[in-house]
Chain A
Amino acid sequence: MIRYEGKTVIKLTVNGSVHELAVRPSDLLLDVLREQLGLTAAKPGCKNGDCGACTVVIDGWPAKSCLVLAVEAEGHAILTVEGLGGTAAVQRAFVEENAFQCGYCTSGFLMVCHALQTQHPTLPEEYVIEEWLASNVCRCTSYEEIRAAVGRLYPPEDAP
């Protein structure tokens, strides 16, 4: 059985690299990513699991990193926006569709969209897209643009 008490060194796999980090068991993954690793794309919008701005991808699924202990993430593959580089389809789609204004919620939406595309390589039904994206809040856009960006991830079949 694992038992951590006080500051403990753990190994976290983030964006393909393994990091040894000293954390308290009660430290949140979000805070550790931001303050120890300098990966600040995930944002503290509410720290209550309600806004989705801190969303990262863990083992291919979206997770709100404000509701994950860093010690829990040991042994799992964590992906943040920084790990997308600049090459993920979703990043270009967001630029092309103006799917952000202030940009603060953007990282969270990008990670949800990226996970959606991972889990659903072909166009899922509309309600699935809505269900996934309704985990996040954007205060600036009308969502129309974000929807359009998701649309770009699933190019229509070649017309007959």
Chain B
Amino acid sequence: MIPFNFVYCRPATLEQAYEAFGQLQAEGKNPVYYAGGSEVITLCRAGSIAPGAVIDLKEIPECRVLSADREDLHFGAARTLNDIKESRLVPLLTLCCGRIADHTNQCRITLGGNLCGTILYRETCLPLLLADATVTLFGGRGLHAVPFQSVFDGRMQLEAGEFIVEVGLPGWAAQAPHWHIKRTTNEKIDYPLVSLAALCKDGRLRVALSGVCSYPFRSAEIEDVLNDSSLSIERRVEGAAALLPEPAYSDVRGSGQYRVFVLKNTLQTLLEAFSNDQI
């Protein structure tokens, strides 16, 4: 039960959604965009947020694309993790979507919702960071596509009223060698201690991480060390683990120290798999 009420809007077009946002804001309703709803409902019930309006983006056709054209693969922001998983368009994205929450919730949680969530893991960002994804936004500047990395620094950087329409991945991302390793405290369905996604592009390993720090990231420094074939695997692992952008995250699921330990094991597994594939 959500103890307070809100206005519910279900726009049919991008323009209606953006206009509704402005209108509701002008009415003092403090609106939020809404898609799968799992996080908004949870936070409302817990009393963490109390929006006066929710704008449901699920029925806007542009937010529901799921297609491959000659160059790119397109994933509408209102597509569920399960839709994306079952489409099997990009194997690494399929793997990441398949390990977020549980299957039933994967049938509700959307790509856009996961990327914009307040829960810190946002694991769908990992393949996007690795594959030079573009993201199409709608807002004050109309419909525009930008590199995903330019609007994501651990969380989405959106202007007021702006929302994600779709994400585009280049075709090569679907063919590239890839790995996803997720480690949890011990129950399989849980937030990650370490969620590692990796893609191989032009013989070089790209790596993005969630769970280790308080936000997901891809780090050039870490990739440099991991790709330094002059070093032993052990040295590369140690080197990479020393380059976290902030001290490892610590909570009831695992201490920072333990997360680093798990990270090292995960990187070792990755590098061993990578070097085996190289041979």
Q: List A residues at the B interface (Cβ < 8 Å).
A: 1-6, 24-28, 31, 47-49, 52, 55, 61-64, 66-69, 71-72, 112, 131-132, 134-136
Contacts and interface: CB of A to CB of B under 8 A. Distances in A.
27 contacts: A1-B10, A1-B11, A3-B7, A4-B8, A5-B8, A25-B8, A26-B5, A26-B6, A28-B1, A28-B2, A47-B1, A48-B42, A48-B45, A52-B102, A52-B104, A61-B82, A62-B104, A64-B108, A71-B8, A72-B56, A131-B98, A131-B102, A131-B103, A132-B103, A132-B104, A134-B102, A135-B105
A3 B257 CA distance: 49
B41 A28 contact: yes
Given A3-B8, A72-B56, A62 B41 contact: no
Interface in B35-61: 36-38, 41-42, 44-45, 54, 56, 58
Contacts of A63: 104, 107-108
B262 interface: no
A125 B104 CA distance: 17
A24 B5 contact: yes
B2 A26 contact: yes
Given A62-B104, A63-B107, A64-B104, A2 B9 contact: yes
A26 B36 CA distance: 14
B180 to A, nearest CB: 15
Nearest to A52: B104
Interface in B104-132: 104-105, 107-108
B189 interface: yes
B133 interface: no
B16 interface: yes
A109 to B, nearest CB: 11
A4 B5 CA distance: 11
Contact of B42 (A25, A27, A49, A72): A49
Given A64-B108, A72-B56, A134 B1 contact: no
B7 A25 contact: yes
Contacts of A72: 37, 56, 58
Interface string B1-33: 110111111111000100010000000000000
Interface residues of B, number: 34
Contacts of B1: 27-28, 31, 47
B88 interface: no
A67 B82 CA distance: 16
B69 to A, nearest CB: 27
B5 A6 contact: yes
A67 B37 contact: yes
B10 A2 contact: yes
Given A48-B42, A135-B189, 14 more contacts: A1-B20, A2-B11, A3-B20, A6-B5, A25-B7, A26-B2, A28-B2, A55-B104, A61-B82, A64-B38, A64-B104, A67-B37, A67-B38, A71-B10
A26 B41 CA distance: 9
Nearest to A119: B86
B273 to A, nearest CB: 20
Contact of B108 (A24, A25, A68, A134): A68
A134 B103 contact: yes
Nearest to B98: A131
A4 B20 CA distance: 12
Contact of A135 (B42, B98, B104): B104
B7 A4 contact: yes
Contacts of B101: 49
A67 B39 CA distance: 8
A64 B101 CA distance: 12
B235 interface: no
Contacts of A136: 104
